[in-house]
Amino acid sequence: MTAAKPAVAFLGIGLMGRHQAANLLKAGYQVTAWNRSRAKAETLEALGARVADSPAEAVADADVVVAMLENGPIVAEVLFASGADAALKSGAVVVDMSSIKPAEAQDHATRLARRGVAHVDAPVSGGTVGAEAGTLAIMAGGEPEAFARVETLLKAMGRPVHVGPSGAGQLAKLANQIIVGVAIGAVGEALMLAAKGGADPAKVREALRGGFAESRVLDLHGQRMVERDFVTKGRSITHLKDIDNALSAAEGLGLDLPFSGLLADLFRGLLANAGDLDHSGLLVELERRNGLDGADNRAA
């Protein structure tokens, strides 16, 4: 006989969480959804979700609690200050898919363990496109036994890989954000150089495809730069938060991350001068620093 699927509480029905929770429902999981703005959680009712009025109510009968929240302090507020931790049943697993500091994930794991609750930090990469398609890269840290208990559930949302002990998932996500952010900056500089020199940036991007410069960043973010489509799919303010977390973690480990330091500076400039554009909007900040009007920065 096939074992029944665990009951799931999903905390945080935002741009990403809505798609992730929907995929769990489509995979046959019983999901109770909670969001600070109840209306966002209610969008899942048509798929069979139950909506809770508080985090504590949501987690009361859950075998697995999935959190997809904005940052570490909000995760701590929702899990602990709200009383959700007291409502959790012993033996439950909390899977925190938010992007937070490794030290925060380790602290949460320690506090939950005192209540007999396991913890897996499992941040993701892939954006809203990956969340909707169920193809997210999922980087999981925690005890191997806890990961094994939720691996099948995570596979309904993407491709989970256990990368190490508590906090290791968050370190992997920070590594991801460094790679993606620096690559976005490099693509922006390259296309700006090409356009300023008289080349067609769209054709340059096409010419580079298939060579050593090929990447998903050149493909997806490069296309957004060519089309100047900076409608938010990946928030710059969130990417900056992750890079700041990476710099904080590096400082604690005695490391110097010069590329990450420059990337943080560029994102701060973008946010201060253009607002919270999609992170491909780093091109806008690079143009500003060079005195260029992006609308005119095209090949003749």
Quote the tokens at residue 233: 């799919």
Please check whether residues 268 and 153 belong to one and the same domain: no
Please check whether residues 213 and 147 belong to one and the same domain: no
pLDDT digits (tens, 9 = 90+) for 110-167: 999 999 999 999 999 988 889 999 999 999 999 999 999 999 999 999 999 999 999 9
Boundary of a domain, candidates 96, 131, 165 = 165
29 domain-assigned: yes
Please check whether residues 152 and 32 belong to one and the same domain: yes
1 domain-assigned: no
Place of tokens 């700041």: 244
Q: Residue 16 and residue 56: Cα distance in Å, rounded?
A: 22
Please check whether residues 82 and 206 belong to one and the same domain: no
Q: Residue 172 and residue 164: Cα distance in Å, rounded?
A: 9
Please check whether residues 56 and 142 belong to one and the same domain: yes
Please check whether residues 80 and 27 belong to one and the same domain: yes
Please check whether residues 135 and 233 belong to one and the same domain: no
Q: Count CB neighbours of 11 within 10 A.
A: 31
Please check whether residues 139 and 233 belong to one and the same domain: no
Please check whether residues 109 and 176 belong to one and the same domain: no
| pLDDT at residue number 129 | 87
291 domain-assigned: yes
Q: Domain range for residue 47?
A: 8-165
Boundary of a domain, candidates 117, 147, 165 = 165
Mean pLDDT value of segment 173-178: 97
Q: Residue 124 and residue 170: Cα distance in Å, rounded?
A: 9
Q: Residue 263 and residue 243: Cα distance in Å, rounded?
A: 8
pTM of the predicted model, to two decimals?
0.90
Please check whether residues 288 and 148 belong to one and the same domain: no
Please check whether residues 157 and 40 belong to one and the same domain: yes
3 domain-assigned: no
What element of type H or E holds 95? strand 93-96
| pLDDT at residue number 296 | 54
213 pLDDT higher than 80: yes
299 pLDDT higher than 50: no
Tell me which DSSP letter residue 296 carries. Answer: G
Please check whether residues 156 and 224 belong to one and the same domain: no
| pLDDT at residue number 300 | 36
- Count of structural domains within the chain: 2
10 pLDDT higher than 50: yes
Q: Write out the catalytic residue numbers.
A: 173
